[in-house]
Structure 1
Amino acid sequence: MQQITIRRPDDWHLHLRDGAMLQGVLPETTRHFARAIIMPNLVPPVVTGADAAAYRDRILAAIPDGADFTPLMTLYLTEDTDPDDLAAAHASGLVTAVKLYPAGATTNSASGVRDFDKVRPVLERMAEIGCPLCVHGEVTDPDIDIFDREAVFIDRVLDPVRRATPGLRVVMEHITTRDGADYVASNDTDLGATITVQHLVLDRNDMLVGGMRPHYYCLPILKRREHRDALLKAATSGDPRYFLGTDSAPHPTHAKESECCSAGCFTAPNALSILADTFEKAGALDKLEGFTSLHGPAFYGLPVNEDTITLTRGAPVTWPARIETGDGPVTVFDPGFPVHWSVT
């Protein structure tokens, strides 16, 4: 097969940052994606409906002329979140979901949840109104190995929260382990999961063997190959509970190539090309449209996009090594192998 046409994809987990960085990286997403769930971990975070409205307006103002893109806003869950404000923002269509960060789990997560009992009233209200909870699924206990944080989170936090809050719709974002994939597979349709590009094509050897590769460092961190293989099996299975969330996370190159490098991979420019290559190698090109364009809208109760994009197989694709922004250059993710599918 040399060409495929699919419904225009959506990105169900995206970091756009703000200000000059937002203006620099947003065109890379609008080129290929129709909608995206926008992460709220700014400084200060997006915690109220008013915050979300103001951030949405800044995003809309930065959309390139002629681009058709809809930001789907989220609120950052804190122990002080007002259930009434959240419900009003969701009812108005302003807010699509709420994001849970365990405090200290990743970039700009210091305002996240430490005591889950304090957010139970909010979660119960979300279950009542049908507002999904997007979860960064890692514990942050210093005694838990970083490679085990996702599996422990499922047992200690996520499963008890879901059992205590029937009807709560949950997206396990950027799952990275067989444990995560198996947990989704063993549960009902109120649970879904996003999977990133980097976790489908890399394992921790790619990041560490022969020297540390900072542009492969992300959180949750890359795991063993057996976990990557489990994620690829899930993504290419056709199961509608798995869908694309790139977690594309731009940082200035100097922040990535530093003594204490920032976590995140900037995949917005080439995510679809890499995915097409990966699904082809897995003999699952016929499942690509479901993963990128159909399963996410179904979970969120949104219509699929009417327009389409076409990917063509040919000579290895090239892309800029860096994207220039007002906050400095951002290095584009390089999977480390030739990619033969381009968006045309």
Structure 2
Amino acid sequence: MDQITIIRPDDWHLHFRDGDMLQETVPATARCFARAIVMPNLVPPVINAELAVDYRRRIEAAIPAGSNFTPLMTIYLTDKTSVEDIRAAKAAGVVAAKMYPAGATTNSDSGVSSLDSLYPVFETLADEGMLLLVHGEVTQKHIDIFDREKEFIDQHLVKIVNKIPHLKVVFEHITTKDAADFVMSAREGVAATITPQHLMLNRNDMLDGGIRPHNYCLPVLKRSTHQEALREVVKSGSSKFFLGTDSAPHAQHRKESSCGCAGCYSAWSAIELYTQVFDELDALDKLEGFASLHGADFYGLPRNTDTITLVRDEWVLPESIMLPSGEPIVPFYAGKQVSWKLKA
């Protein structure tokens, strides 16, 4: 097969950042995605309806003319989030709340330190028909960074899922066989997003032969057995798994530093790279479900009606992209050849 047409996909997990960077990140996503779930971990974080509405306006101002792209907003849960905050967010059109354990990833210092105190908030999310999006890692420093996803499942996620059976939960950017197995066997109303980097790479790609900071993300890349488990679940076509790039831009100097930032900026090539993965798996017939159908169905939103076409055509990702600030940013898979291309 040298060409594939699918219903226009959505990105169910990404970071636009803010300010001038929106002029780069929003058009890059809108080029192929109809909607995107926008992460709220700005500085300061988007913790309530008012901040979410303001952020949505800034994003909408950066959407290219003629594009029908729609940002879907989230709020950031903290230890002080109230039931009233959730109800106000629902009334403002916010679709989900994001839970970061405090200190788990970039700009998560204001995250949750005590999950038990948030169960009334989780109940209200379920009652209001909003989703709980989870960065599923514990943050105890004595636990090995490669084990923190599994520990989060055992310590917290099983309890949340079982205690509130009507709550829809998305286990974001899963990275391990443990997470894939958990989601596959979980009750209805539990799903997961998977990034291009976790399907394409493992920890050797970050550490072997030298440290490669542009492959550093959180949750961190795992060993190849976990990568293969993720590839198997997307190949299965299960509706519990769908596209979420976790595209997370940082200026080049912030990645290439003595304490480099976590995140892969994949918006420039995400749909092409997912297509490449599904082609490698001999599963192109499963791409549309993963990219365009399962996420919309899980969120209870209408499927998109227009389409995109990808063609088998080799091209090379740029080594860097210039931000509006004049700073360069290195995209995920920079300088490497991609075998599929979005048809203009």
User: What TM-score, normalized by structure 1, do the two folds share?
Assistant: 0.97
1:1-344 map, 5 Å: 1-92=1-92, 94-314=93-313, 316-327=314-325, 328-334=327-333, 338-344=337-343
Provide, for residues 132-164 of structure 1, a one-character-per-residue CA deviation record: whole Å limited to 9, x for no partner.
100000000011000000000000011112222
Distance in 2, Cα, partners of 1:338 & 1:56: 34
Deviation at 1:221, TM superposition (A): 0.1
For the 8 Å contact 2:265–2:332, the answer to whether it is kept is: yes
> Which amino acid in structure 2 is aligned with residue 139 of structure 1?
V
Distance in 2, Cα, partners of 1:23 & 1:35: 17
For the 8 Å contact 1:100–1:133, the answer to whether it is kept is: yes
Q: Secondary structure at the match of 2:315?
A: coil
Greater shift in the superposed pair: 159-168 or 206-215: 159-168
Deviation at 1:273, TM superposition (A): 1.0
Q: Secondary structure at the match of 1:85?
A: helix
Distance in 2, Cα, partners of 1:261 & 1:75: 26
* Amino-acid identity (%): 56
For the 8 Å contact 1:36–1:71, the answer to whether it is kept is: yes
Deviation at 1:249, TM superposition (A): 0.2
For the 8 Å contact 2:131–2:167, the answer to whether it is kept is: yes
Distance in 2, Cα, partners of 1:49 & 1:144: 35
Deviation at 1:83, TM superposition (A): 1.3
> Which amino acid in structure 2 is aligned with residue 5 of structure 1?
T
For the 8 Å contact 2:317–2:336, the answer to whether it is kept is: no
Provide, for residues 270-296 of structure 1, a one-character-per-residue CA deviation record: whole Å limited to 9, x for no partner.
011111111111000000001100000
> Which amino acid in structure 2 is aligned with residue 19 of structure 1?
G
> Which amino acid in structure 2 is aligned with residue 39 of structure 1?
M
For the 8 Å contact 2:96–2:131, the answer to whether it is kept is: yes
Deviation at 1:326, TM superposition (A): 2.8
Runs of 4+ aligned residues of structure 1 deviating over 3 Å after TM superposition are 335-338
For the 8 Å contact 1:236–1:291, the answer to whether it is kept is: no
> Which amino acid in structure 2 is aligned with residue 158 of structure 1?
L
> Which amino acid in structure 2 is aligned with residue 156 of structure 1?
Q
Deviation at 1:87, TM superposition (A): 1.6
Specify whether residues 174 and 340 from structure 1 end up closer, same or farther in structure 2 by C-alpha distance, changes over 3 A only.
Answer: same
Distance in 2, Cα, partners of 1:124 & 1:335: 43
Q: What is the number of residues matched between the two proteins?
A: 342
Deviation at 1:198, TM superposition (A): 0.1
> Which amino acid in structure 2 is aligned with residue 34 of structure 1?
A
Distance in 1, Cα, partners of 2:175 & 2:300: 25
Q: Secondary structure at the match of 1:312?
A: strand
Provide, for residues 7-40 of structure 1, a one-character-per-residue CA deviation record: whole Å limited to 9, x for no partner.
0010000100000111222111010100000000
Greater shift in the superposed pair: 290-299 or 113-122: 113-122
User: What TM-score, normalized by structure 2, do the two folds share?
Assistant: 0.97
Distance in 2, Cα, partners of 1:24 & 1:268: 10
For the 8 Å contact 1:198–1:335, the answer to whether it is kept is: no
> Which amino acid in structure 1 is aligned with residue 270 of structure 2?
A
Deviation at 1:335, TM superposition (A): 7.1
Unpaired runs of at least 5, structure 1? none
> Which amino acid in structure 1 is aligned with residue 78 of structure 2?
T
Deviation at 1:337, TM superposition (A): 5.5
Greater shift in the superposed pair: 329-338 or 246-255: 329-338
